[in-house]
């Protein structure tokens, strides 16, 4: 006997992004073809062989960045800011703003039936957190004496230092500040995490474990240590191009990704629950799926993982390939990732009567790490709402190895549904489908 699942709708959205921190400014930038990529300012000039980035300049981590708050919430969050790194702050901010967008405040929902599924990157400390302690352990000739650290160095560390960087803290903070006692989970799947978080929140409501869930993710590729990692291991866009021209998903002359930062959150709600309170509805979640594939010596097989995730989410949603209005692609703009993704899309959708339109929001704001997938999903939902697709920036020359229909013109219809795709360098892929209402 097939289990009857409850219908799940989206009633709130919020984001922090290089294109702005409101849905309106974000969409205006996409509609106008305005890039959020600029000169790197997060670290002193010359620190790294990296000159461009997509920074979320509007987010300062002040209490005003957290949207409308009740008096006690504002007091608690302001006090908690000192034990949140920037990623945590962005995550809490988008969750609070998404609740506000959904017109939900403490007292408007049953705490035991309201929960959180939130994703993040791996979080790293900043060197500044250790500086004072390290200085206390230097010898007269300037060498670090590790034997002195327990007595002289460690006491200079903040006793709450670790709380700033635990990847479960965004979900914990969100639950505490809003008295959410329902399902709660923290996920760390890098760029693939957003669709997985949405899928987990969807399942919690569909299977009657919750009425309302906050699903989101927060991430950055602009942390100094993460920049060292990416410079050593991944393909970065050339610095000789103008910043707004650097990120070129699926273009024959793409040269690599642009690093960025951001976060996003959705409020998911059981449909009749949303209807009873007269909530605005921005879309219906039809399903989510994930897959992982690696070959010998743990070499990622991204294409295989993406194809499996696409096939699985189509089956779980009940839609055929012809019923997908458009795809929000991962579109990293590296040679291999784009090729593998495009060929996976072609394999799954090649039997369609018409090629599925594919767009890539990273062309506007680069790779936001774990925050990318959720911000891209919001971009797709806004496309459904405004009934128009935004084109892929900087797509000029088709790549024969990327056999997909890249959106290049403004005003193309988005269809009645979107499929959001994300993948990690390690071969973990995820997908989610949202339908217009």
DSSP 136-157: TTB-TTS-B-GGGIIIIIGGGS
Q: Which range has the worst mean pLDDT, 84-98, 116-130, 172-186?
A: 116-130
In a domain, 137, yes or no: no
Does this model's pTM top 0.85? My answer is yes
> Looking only at Cα atoms, what is the longest distance across the chain?
76
Cα–Cα distance, 16 to 184 (Å, whole number): 22
- What is the domain count for the chain? 1
Kindly state the percentage of the chain with pLDDT values over 70.
100
CB within 8 Å of 100: residues ≥ 6 apart: 12, 14, 67, 68
Angle (deg, nearest 10), helices 169-178 and 71-80 = 150
SS (H, E, C) 25-86: HHHHHHHHCCCCCEECCCCCCCCCCCCEEECCCCCCCCHHHHCCCCHHHHHHHHHHHHHCCH
In a domain, 141, yes or no: no
Domain that holds residue 116: 8-125+163-435
pLDDT over threshold 50, residue 331: yes
pLDDT digits (tens, 9 = 90+) for 264-276: 999 999 999 999 9
In a domain, 147, yes or no: no
In a domain, 243, yes or no: yes
In a domain, 405, yes or no: yes
Backbone angles phi, psi at 261, to 5 degrees: -150, 150
In a domain, 71, yes or no: yes
In a domain, 344, yes or no: yes
pLDDT digits (tens, 9 = 90+) for 395-429: 999 999 999 999 999 999 999 999 999 999 999 99
Mean pLDDT (whole number) for 352-377:
97
CATH code of the domain containing 357:
3.40.47.10
Selected residue with higher pLDDT from 88 and 232: 88
Cα–Cα distance, 197 to 269 (Å, whole number): 14
What Rg do the C-alpha atoms of the chain give, in angstroms? 22
Selected residue with higher pLDDT from 45 and 393: 393
Q: Which residues pair with 428 in a beta bridge?
A: 292
Is the alpha carbon torsion for 366, 368, 374, 375 positive or negative?
A: negative
Q: Which residues pair with 265 in a beta bridge?
A: 14, 216
pLDDT over threshold 90, residue 43: no
Cα–Cα distance, 36 to 243 (Å, whole number): 9
Q: Which residues pair with 144 in a beta bridge?
A: 138
pLDDT over threshold 50, residue 214: yes
Secondary structure class of 307 (helix, strand, coil) = helix
Q: Which two tokens stand for residue 361?
A: 């929001």
Pairing of strands 417-423, 428-435: antiparallel
Cα–Cα distance, 9 to 280 (Å, whole number): 10
Q: Which residues pair with 92 in a beta bridge?
A: none
Contact between 118 and 174 under an 8 Å Cβ cutoff? The reply is yes
Kindly state the percentage of the chain with pLDDT values over 90.
87
Pairing of strands 184-187, 114-120: parallel
For 303-313, letters b (16+ CB in 10 Å) and e give bbbbbbbbbbb
pLDDT digits (tens, 9 = 90+) for 145-169: 999 999 999 999 888 888 899 999 9
State residue 298's pLDDT score. 87
CB within 8 Å of 27: residues ≥ 6 apart: 382, 386
Contact between 190 and 428 under an 8 Å Cβ cutoff? The reply is yes
In a domain, 266, yes or no: yes
Q: How confident is the model at residue 39 (pLDDT cuts 50, 70, 90)?
A: very high
Cα–Cα distance, 299 to 15 (Å, whole number): 33
Cα–Cα distance, 338 to 345 (Å, whole number): 10
Contact between 150 and 81 under an 8 Å Cβ cutoff? The reply is no
pLDDT over threshold 80, residue 3: no
pLDDT over threshold 60, residue 184: yes
Secondary structure class of 430 (helix, strand, coil) = strand
Cα–Cα distance, 358 to 33 (Å, whole number): 16
pLDDT over threshold 70, residue 1: no
Is the alpha carbon torsion for 339, 342, 346, 347 positive or negative?
A: positive
């Amino acid at each position: 006997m097939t289990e009857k699942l409850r219908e799940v709708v989206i009633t709130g959205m919020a984001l922090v992004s290089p294109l702005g921190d409101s849905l309106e400014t974000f969409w205006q930038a996409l509609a106008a073809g305005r890039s959020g990529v600029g000169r790197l300012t997060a670290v002193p000039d010359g620190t790294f062989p990296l000159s461009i980035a997509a920074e979320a300049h509007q987010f300062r981590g002040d209490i005003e960045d957290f949207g409308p708050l009740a008096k006690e919430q504002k007091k608690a969050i302001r006090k908690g800011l000192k034990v949140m790194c920037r990623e945590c702050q962005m995550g809490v901010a988008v969750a609070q703003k998404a609740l506000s967008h959904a017109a939900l405040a403490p007292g408007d929902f049953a705490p035991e039936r309201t929960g959180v599924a939130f994703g993040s990157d791996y979080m790293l400390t900043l060197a500044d957190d250790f500086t004072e302690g390290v200085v206390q352990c230097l010898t007269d000739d300037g060498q670090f004496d590790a034997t002195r650290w327990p007595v002289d160095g460690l006491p200079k560390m903040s006793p709450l230092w670790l709380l700033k960087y635990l990847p479960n803290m965004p979900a914990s903070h969100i639950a505490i500040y809003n008295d959410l006692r329902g399902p709660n989970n923290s996920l760390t799947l890098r760029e693939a995490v957003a669709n997985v978080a949405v899928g987990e929140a969807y399942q919690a409501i569909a299977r009657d474990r919750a009425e309302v869930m906050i699903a989101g993710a927060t991430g950055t590729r602009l942390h100094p240590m993460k920049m060292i990692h990416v410079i050593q291991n991944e393909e970065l866009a050339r610095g000789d191009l103008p910043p707004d021209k650097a990120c070129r998903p699926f273009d024959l002359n793409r040269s690599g990704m642009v690093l960025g930062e951001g976060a996003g959150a959705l409020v998911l709600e059981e449909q009749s629950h949303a209807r009873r309170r007269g909530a605005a509805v921005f879309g219906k979640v039809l399903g989510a799926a994930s897959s992982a594939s690696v070959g010998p010596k743990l070499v990622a097989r991204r294409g295989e993982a993406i194809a499996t995730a696409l096939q699985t989410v189509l089956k779980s949603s009940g839609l055929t390939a012809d019923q997908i209005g458009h795809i929000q692609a991962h579109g990293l703009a590296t040679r291999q990732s784009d090729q593998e993704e495009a060929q996976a899309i072609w394999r799954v959708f090649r039997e369609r009567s018409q090629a599925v339109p594919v767009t890539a929001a990273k062309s506007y704001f680069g790779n936001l790490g774990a925050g990318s997938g959720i911000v891209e999903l919001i971009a797709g939902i806004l496309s459904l709402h405004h009934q128009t697709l935004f084109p892929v920036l900087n797509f000029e020359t088709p790549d024969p190895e990327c056999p997909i229909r890249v959106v290049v013109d403004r005003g193309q219809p988005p269809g009645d549904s979107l499929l959001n795709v994300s993948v990690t360098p390690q071969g973990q892929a995820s997908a989610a489908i949202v339908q217009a209402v």
